[in-house]
Structure 1
Amino acid sequence: MDLRRLSHVVALADTLHFARAAEQVHLSQPAFSRSIQAIESDLGVRLFEREAGDIRPTPAGEFVLERARRLLFEARCMQRDVDLYLDSRLGDTAFGVGPFPAATLLPRVLSELRRLHPQVALRVEESNWVLLLERLRAEDIEFFVADVRDLTEDASLDVRPLPAQPARFFVRAGHPLTGKACTIRDAWEYGVASVKAPRVVTAAFSRALGLPDGQAAVLALECDDFAVIRAVTLSTDMVLGATDASVRAELASGELVVLDVQGLPAMKAGMGIVSLRNRTPSPMAVKAIRCIERVAAEISGAGDALPK
């Protein structure tokens, strides 16, 4: 099986356009068309329908594409494993983090990795799990750390759970709701700010607010940059939904206080480390993952020191 021609099939399926696919694989369009015709001839099946400029995979094409993507992935993995075998160095790595782990884990993790391995280049991308999953599948990052509760059972992913981080509602010192018990409706009227919430959390809020079936609770401010929503909470009357660990410094200084919300569903950030199954991580990625797991465990163990 010619892997180069299989990559041409995948390129055409991704672009659904001969000229763009040819450009993507650095071939002239006539040469690219001959490559597609050659693999169709070799396999004895028509892989694409070509009608009035409309390119789409045939049922046989869909069947071949699924296996072609798998073969190309395995080939890239094998080449990468050979490179790692031949190169005894740790190698550079790139990984992603969600907003809460970026605020709670990342500073300590990066400080330790830089201190122990100053010669290694690290690239870190911060976003929500949806976008990080896209980056992972594109093989632009080796793994990511984020809330994994919205991830469906996917045989292509390896998910390593981390200790859950308790979460609550917080407000600035002097907020009108401080010093007294309130309801979740009271908090919602001031506007709740947080990062992109998992569906299970949104559903719990909807039930607590008594919303009709099918109507989702909507955050007043949703932002994946945690520093931004924390700053907005400190300067306005918004209510912040966050993990305890992410506002530890503000709680210690008295800038933020825990809001006493009666009937608030138990909240937590269910984080995990997500990677592609059957893809060998680089030595540096292994060290980074171990460091993340250790720091996450230490932060979880320190949670008892926070105000109740």
Structure 2
Amino acid sequence: MDLKRWAHIVAVADRRSFIRAAEQVHLSQPALTRSIQAAEAELRLQLFDRGTNEVVATPAGEFVVARARQLVFNSRCLERDVELYRSRGLGDTAFGVGPFPAATFLAPLLTAMRREFQGINLRVEISNWQLLLKRLLEEDIEFFVADTRDLPSDPNLYVRALRREPGGFYVRAGHPLTTRKSVTLQQLWSHGVLSVRLPAGVRAVVTRLLGLGSSAELSLALECDDVEVLKQVALASDSVLAAPDAAVAQEVAAGRLHALEVTGLPSQSSEMGVVTLRGRTPSPMAELIIGRLPTTGAPAQR
């Protein structure tokens, strides 16, 4: 069967609509319908149930779609690898970065890249791991760097561990809590905590220490994926900032932010990793950037 027809099958399965799938593959809706009908006739299988609300793959269709998806993916990888082999250049790249790496080592990394490779174009998306994973699976980015503790187990993903980034709680100079040698988590939380989205494990620890019934009861005064924004709010209010130590090192050194000693709280650190699609060859520039990340040298986690 023609590879384009396999791609049509995948598009219908993903979009659950002939109209939306036709837009994706740049065909008219009748032309796409004829393509799927021809595929079903050739395979002698009904691939989709045409419901009134949406198109759903039949059990046979799910079987075929899974293999068609791999065929389409491998085809795109082959085309890309051939182009890289032919050009033998570093090439442009796009990648994603979570809030903590964005606040710690991203700027120095990008500065070095711009100084060394002025002819290369980079696109960086800063977001939470959920959105970055969606971009990766859509092949909109080559890889992303983020805290991977809540990342779902997926055989299609390859994760390379980075160094741990320790973190803590910080308040502005002159904050009422700075007069205390140590504070309880309850005292800290009463001032309002600013943080990125907390991993499930961290939420569980904090929920237990605060004596809450469930993590659903745990609330943040401000949740934001931009650590720089959180930092500015903490500097201008009595809110308490939860952040990696490296992200606030300059403010701490200048005396603008102070670390809090929290009674009974275990030390916390992010567990960042580089996430790529298994089986996809990174571009030379992507490999170069990944090679400069602060890795632990540990093997892949998944």
Matches of 2:80 and 2:237, distance apart in 1: 50
Residue aligning to 1:90: 90
Shift of 1:93: 0.6
Shift of 1:70: 1.1
Residue aligning to 1:253: 254
| Partner secondary structure for residue 204 of structure 2 | helix
Residue aligning to 1:153: 153
Which ranges of structure 1 fall in alignment gaps of 5 or more residues?
298-308
Is residue 144 of structure 2 the alignment partner of residue 137 of structure 1? no
| Partner secondary structure for residue 168 of structure 1 | strand
Query: Which stretch shifts more, 29-38 or 138-147?
Result: 29-38
Kept after mapping to 1: 8 A contact 2:204/2:215: no
TM-score between the two structures when normalised by the length of structure 2:
0.94
Counting only pairs closer than 5 Å after superposition, residues 1-308 of structure 1 correspond to structure 2 as 1-52=1-52, 54-180=54-180, 181-213=182-214, 215-293=216-294
Equivalent residue letter for 2:212:
L
Matches of 2:292 and 2:97, distance apart in 1: 14
Shift of 1:15: 2.2
Shift of 1:216: 4.3
Which ranges of structure 2 fall in alignment gaps of 5 or more residues?
298-302
Matches of 2:7 and 2:176, distance apart in 1: 61
Query: Which contiguous aligned blocks of 4+ residues in structure 1 show a shift greater than 6 angstroms?
Result: none
RMSD: 1.5
Shift of 1:214: 5.4
| Partner secondary structure for residue 166 of structure 1 | strand
Structure 1 pair 85–207 and aligned structure 2 pair: CA distance change class (3 A): same
| Partner secondary structure for residue 67 of structure 1 | helix
Shift of 1:85: 0.5
Kept after mapping to 2: 8 A contact 1:205/1:265: no
Percent of aligned pairs with the same residue? 54
| Partner secondary structure for residue 177 of structure 2 | coil
Matches of 1:225 and 1:206, distance apart in 2: 23
Matches of 1:101 and 1:196, distance apart in 2: 14
TM-score between the two structures when normalised by the length of structure 1:
0.93
Equivalent residue letter for 1:184:
L
**C-alpha deviations, 1:168-189, integer Å up to 9, x for none?**
1100011111131210000000
Matches of 2:253 and 2:122, distance apart in 1: 31
Equivalent residue letter for 1:69:
R
Shift of 1:23: 2.6
Kept after mapping to 1: 8 A contact 2:207/2:215: no
Equivalent residue letter for 1:142:
E
Kept after mapping to 2: 8 A contact 1:208/1:265: no
Equivalent residue letter for 1:139:
E
Matches of 1:190 and 1:168, distance apart in 2: 15
Matches of 1:53 and 1:242, distance apart in 2: 45
Kept after mapping to 2: 8 A contact 1:202/1:216: no
**C-alpha deviations, 1:182-217, integer Å up to 9, x for none?**
100000000110111111111111011111145442
Kept after mapping to 2: 8 A contact 1:195/1:226: yes
Number of matched residues? Answer: 296
Shift of 1:38: 0.6
Kept after mapping to 2: 8 A contact 1:203/1:216: no
